[in-house]
Amino acid sequence: MIDIKKILVPTDFSESSEKSLLYGISLAEQYGAELYVLSAIDDRVFDDPLFVVYAEQEMRQNRKAVYEEYLSKVVAGIKRDHPKLAVQQVLRMGVAFVEIVDFARQEHIDLIIIGSHGRTGIAHLLIGSTAEKVVRKAPCPVLTVRPKEHEFIHP
């Protein structure tokens, strides 16, 4: 029997992430699992030595505030619509796939549900796929949700 107690749904606030949240909410309700909604702020752009320390800190704080606000709105909406569901929000700084995998390890996550943007060709080569890297490195099963696929979840 599958025993799922902790589900992680990473979000970048895209349409694909919204869809993966539907799966996460549904499965968390079915299994009585705790739902973690994680967003990672990729701070690699701040590695540029031309940034002045003050400017770098201010930009990080502003960016973090924006992410916190969006993440809070997403989690508040879930809690409003699903009051019996245990939901935690998590904001991390760093490379998305690394933060997702590290959090899953630290918190003993049972299942990760992640949206895939469905990029192909040169866009996939240039940007890479966070979902693909999470699938390869995660310490638990990963369910990927593509933008256009057969619908299992009905809102």
Residue 152, domain member (yes or no): no
Residue 1, domain member (yes or no): no
Domain that holds residue 106: 6-145
Q: What is the pLDDT of residue 113?
A: 96
Which residue shows structure tokens 């390869």? 136
Q: What is the pLDDT of residue 111?
A: 98
Provide the domain count of the chain: 1
Separation in Å, CA 94 to CA 58, 110, 113, 118: 17, 22, 19, 23
Residue 91, domain member (yes or no): yes
Q: What is the pLDDT of residue 81?
A: 96
Dig out the tokens for 152 from the structure: 């299992």
Residue 77, domain member (yes or no): yes
Q: What is the pLDDT of residue 121?
A: 47
Q: What is the pLDDT of residue 15?
A: 84
Residue 74, domain member (yes or no): yes
Dig out the tokens for 15 from the structure: 């349409």
| CATH of residue 49 | 3.40.50.620
Cα-Cα-Cα-Cα dihedral sign, residues 22, 18, 91, 137: positive
Give average pLDDT by consecutive 10-residue segment, the chain, 155 residues: 92 88 95 96 60 59 86 96 96 92 98 78 53 93 81 57
